[in-house]
Structure 1
């Protein structure tokens, strides 16, 4: 197999980096290394919530609901994702938090991939 190809399972691989599958934090030479984008497979039990709001975000983000019922909190607005495929996009500088109303699986894409940010 070529070093430019990686085949895996999101549920299995996500456990290694707190859900993150692709981004600057993967080793150089790994096809999952990217300075342009980060991708996360998030599996959340009911009641799971972000410990504190993300403030001063430097990236744009897309969050897509795969299954469950998931709420994204944005300044002055809550967005409920309740049907598979529901999604929300927020831009640079938009603070956010989240809460899993039911067991939920979400796919998050952030760009660019910014070194120095904690994987989480």
Structure 2
């Protein structure tokens, strides 16, 4: 397998923030059917347009900087200190917003071809 060296700020916009997953070309070291990794840069006030529902994967969202709130049907979780994270599993409907500028890293598994939230 070849080696890929990149920069999240440069590479992420090409795939709506995703750096690794099934959607990368076969043969690219970033192609994976096991896991997806996303670099998310969110200005203050940024909000997901719709709830994510019917999710079949597990996810981990890690705060790199700023403040980021994940909303689940039964509670909201605000990540405010660098390194704060939250993990949720299949069936957890969720949405999010950034009260302040935020950078987050999301890891999701497995990588499911064809799954995409509208918008």
TM-score, scaled to structure 1? 0.95
Tell me the residue number matched to 1:8. Answer: 6
Quote the Cα distance in structure 1 between the aligned partners of 2:58 and 2:79: 18
Match of 2:38 among 27, 37, 40: 40
Shift of 1:28: 0.3
Distance 2:115 2:54 in 1: 11
Unaligned stretches of 5+ residues in structure 2: none
Q: 1:108 aligns with which of 103, 106, 109?
A: 106
The structural deviation recorded for 1:118 is 2.1
Q: How many Å separate the matches in 1 of 2:74 and 2:105?
A: 23
- Aligned residue in 2 for 1:30: 28
Q: How many residues are aligned here? A: 118
Give unpaired runs (5+ residues) of structure 1.
none
Deviation at 1:117, TM superposition (A): 1.2
Query: Which runs of structure 2 are paired with 1:87-106 in the superposition (5 Å)?
Result: 87-106=85-104
* Stretches of 4+ aligned residues off by more than 6 angstroms: none
